[in-house]
């Protein structure tokens, strides 16, 4: 048997992290078994589906590296197939037309509520005579099409995540609507549960992998697979992604779409890696891995039943692991758009070598791409402000003299074109001034960077020197030290 799985997003919004995590698990399972990963767009909700959401979904999956083998297939282009299936159910007597008006359904639910009963359709139109049907039609009533559900039926399946699952037909809310209301002798818009089953059978889906919020649908869909004479696929219901309060992650939590995570500066590799860890763990305990590496080890016996809590700190840490491995020559192209957006002055072409050196300096300290804006700000301007700690350092005894000595050396043409020449310059000044090297280094950091914390001092100095920013900063620091 060739494993065939599908991801079936609805284009009523951008690609949600929950949908993306489901896509990850489907992709991993398919690749582990050498199977097929299929993209199906469930766009039958014509009022809410938008082409821009479809584009966002497909681009998001591609960005994450979740390439599909077939599709995308669009349900809106398959309506005739669904109507044929519905007609087959009608012909077999497994479905029927129900002519209830909205007011009648509301009255039924109100009566059930008054009796503390769960809301359900009471199947009142299941056995209408032909005369009754004609009478309703003569009134101008439209009919939905309902699928018959046997209340006495027990529906069971062996879930790959949750084990043995059992549902009673009586808990499924009565006979299920599978097509919206339409005029006499026509079949209205097919609904979700029916369309999903028809697609799964037509596409020969062997495993349905989705979130646990679909469990109730599974019981209904199993009945439809059987009614349509198809093989019921295996099911795996994965845990939901939870917010810090333990509730299902939703739009109210702010960042939920994959494009949001892109804009926040996360790498595709880190986000895909992190989503894999939301509910699954590798047998060797490893947490940093590529999708193909995870696929080689993936199985549902290591998927948790409990919800997976979203952890921003963990994602930042993981993203940093990937950022720190990006070569400076590659990283610079990813950082330049952020520097440009911040208004930093540079020429992407003529300043490329200098920018690459800067990217190499900042890269090991980044958790997200946008952090390079704040960390790199003082490399793009001739002068900068001083923190209180830097000002305090510059007022230390002997600092003015060492700054003056440094200026004298630079202005007299002292070499500063490598780390070795920079260290030699520092050692010469330390020796000539008769000071401790610690005083020199702390004071140069305060003078050149305006703060006592930051990236490597000598590398920073070289970068500033290439822009000829070090002499103006030393002069400004000397003036402050002498004040």
Q: Tell me which residues are annotated as active site.
A: 251
211 vs 223: CA distance, rounded Å: 20
Give CA torsion, residues 318, 321, 326, 331, to 10 deg. Answer: 60
Whole-angstrom Cα distance, residue 481 to residue 433? 16
SS3 136: helix
Residue 56 near residue 64, CB atoms below 8 Å = no
- In terms of phi and psi (left: phi > 0; alpha: psi -120 to 50; beta: otherwise), the region of 279 is left
Distance of alpha carbon 59 from the chain centroid = 12
Shortest CA distance to 68 belongs to which of 50, 41, 49, 45?
Answer: 41
Element (H, E) at 56: helix 51-64
- CB contact set of 464 (below 8 Å; sequence gap of 6+): 379, 448, 470, 473
- Size of the chain, expressed as the number of residues it contains: 483
- Conformation bin of residue 50: beta by default, left when phi > 0, alpha when psi is -120 to 50: beta
Report how far residue 176's alpha carbon sits from residue 220's, in angstroms, rounded to the nearest whole number: 8
For residue 99, which of 139, 60, 152, 62 has the smallest C-alpha distance?
139
- Contact indicator for 169, 153 with CB cutoff of 8 Å: yes
Q: Is 127 helix (H, G, I), strand (E, B) or coil?
A: coil
Let me know if 407 is exposed, middle or buried by CB neighbors in 10 A (0-12, 13-18, 19+). Answer: middle
CB 419 within 8 A of CB 458: yes
Rg of the chain on CA atoms, in Å? 33
3-state secondary structure (DSSP) of residue 376: helix
């Amino acid at each position: 048997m060739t494993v065939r799985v599908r991801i079936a997003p609805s284009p009523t919004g951008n690609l949600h992290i929950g949908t993306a995590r489901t896509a990850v698990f489907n992709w991993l399972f398919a690749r582990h078994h050498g199977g097929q990963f299929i993209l199906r767009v469930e766009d039958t909700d014509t009022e809410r589906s938008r082409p821009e959401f479809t584009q966002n979904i497909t681009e998001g999956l591609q960005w994450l590296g979740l390439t599909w083998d077939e599709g995308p297939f669009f349900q809106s282009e398959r309506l005739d197939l669904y109507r044929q299936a519905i007609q087959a159910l009608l012909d077999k007597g497994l479905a029927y037309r129900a002519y209830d008006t909205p007011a009648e359904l509301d009255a039924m639910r109100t009566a059930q509520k008054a009796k503390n009963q769960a809301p359900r359709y009471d199947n009142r139109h299941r056995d209408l005579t032909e005369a009754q049907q004609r009478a309703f039609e003569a009134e101008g009533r439209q009919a939905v099409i309902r699928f018959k559900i046997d209340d006495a039926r027990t529906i069971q399946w062996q879930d790959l995540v949750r084990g043995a699952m059992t549902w009673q037909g009586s808990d499924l809310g009565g006979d299920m609507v599978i097509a919206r209301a339409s005029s006499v002798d026509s079949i209205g818009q097919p609904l979700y549960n029916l369309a999903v089953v028809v697609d799964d059978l037509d596409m020969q889906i062997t495993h349905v992998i989705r979130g646990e919020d679909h469990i109730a649908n599974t019981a209904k869909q199993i009945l439809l697979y059987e009614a349509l004479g198809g093989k019921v696929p295996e099911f795996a219901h994965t845990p939901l992604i939870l917010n810090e309060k333990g509730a299902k992650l939703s739009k109210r939590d702010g960042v939920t779409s994959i494009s949001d995570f892109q804009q926040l500066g996360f790498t595709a590799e880190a986000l895909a890696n992190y989503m894999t860890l939301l509910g699954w763990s590798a047998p060797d305990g490893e947490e940093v891995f590529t999708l193909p590496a995870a696929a080689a080890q993936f199985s549902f016996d290591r998927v948790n039943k409990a919800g997976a809590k979203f952890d921003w700190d963990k994602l930042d840490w993981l993203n940093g692991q990937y950022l720190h491995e990006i070569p400076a020559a590659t990283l610079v192209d990813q950082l330049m758009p952020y520097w440009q957006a911040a208004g930093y002055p540079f020429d992407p072409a003529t300043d490329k070598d200098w920018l690459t050196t800067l990217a190499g300096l900042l890269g090991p300290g980044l958790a997200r791409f946008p952090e390079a804006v704040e960390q790199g700000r003082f490399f793009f301007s001739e002068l900068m402000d001083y923190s209180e700690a830097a000002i305090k350092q510059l007022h230390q005894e002997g600092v003015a003299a060492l700054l003056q000595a440094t200026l004298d050396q630079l202005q007299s043409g002292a070499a500063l074109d490598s780390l070795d020449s920079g260290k030699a310059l520092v050692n010469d000044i330390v020796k000539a001034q008769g000071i401790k090297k610690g005083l020199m280094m702390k004071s140069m950091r305060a003078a050149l960077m305006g703060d006592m914390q930051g990236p490597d001092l000598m590398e920073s100095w070289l970068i500033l020197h290439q822009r000829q920013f070090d002499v103006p900063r030393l002069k400004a620091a000397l003036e402050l030290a002498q004040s």
